Structure 1
Amino acid sequence: MTTLLLEALDAPLRVLRLFAAEYPLLPAPTVSVSTVYPDLLELSFHDDFSGFEAWRDVLGIAPGDVSFHVQGDGHTGVLKAHIEYAGASLRLVGFADVSGTDEERSRAEVVS
């Protein structure tokens, strides 16, 4: 197995430096860079979708380009988007508790 050098991670690390300079006031994500996918920068947000949405808007990702699913636990919603940005593959991921969503919809339908 060949060991990758740090320079193999140049694209996602360069994008991360750009983001730090251009968007210092946006919510801080959990950042993931890996030698398994050396061109990928993953920014993830936990607990609610507001950080995801702030970054989605700034990066110009259309709402229609975002996928949504609920994890098998039935409580965790997941938003995902993928774009190419400055030579790196960027994955934006958001997690939030959506367990009250169905109950709240049911109540709203009864009230209407």
Structure 2
Amino acid sequence: MWSIHRNPRIWENPLEFRPERFLNDLDNSNYYGNDFRFMPFGSGRRKCPGIPLAEKLLFFILASLLHSFEWRLPYGTVLDMSGKFGIVMKKKKSVLLIPTPRLTNLEINC
């Protein structure tokens, strides 16, 4: 999975964190396991059954966090995108971000 998502024949600068690369090809994106360039949910019989729920929840939660806070790295810190190999891909060094409330009366409604 790691090598598929970082194939230099498919992705320009595959080891560089550039989420905007997915915006240009948004209409042709297919992460249901049919396009083998990008398979975050697996494919075939072992495909994740919760894809529709994950799509809706991820969008809502991420949008809420981005809307409510300004996110930044601690002063003098450089973002390290190197990974640690194992059963799952982890970051070598954890990312620490500092959230600053963007809204004046930030309330969490559940």
Say yes or no: TM over 0.5. Answer: no
More strand by share: 1
Give the alignment's TM-score, normalised by structure 2: 0.23
More helix by share: 1
